[in-house]
Amino acid sequence: MLILTTDTHPQGLQPQATYSMVLVNKAIEISNKGIRGLFEKQVNEYDEALSFLAQNCPDEANAIIGVKISTTAQQFSNGTFLYMTIVGTPVKY
pLDDT digits (tens, 9 = 90+) for 18-64: 999 999 999 888 876 555 555 555 557 788 889 999 999 999 999 99
The whole-model pTM stands at 0.77
Domain boundaries in the chain? 2-92
Q: What is the pLDDT of residue 37?
A: 54
Domain formed by 2-92, architecture: 2-Layer Sandwich (3.30)
User: pLDDT confidence of 68, banded at 50, 70, 90?
Assistant: very high
Q: What is the dihedral of CA 36, 1, 57, 23, to 10 degrees?
A: 30
CA 73 to the chain's CA centroid = 17
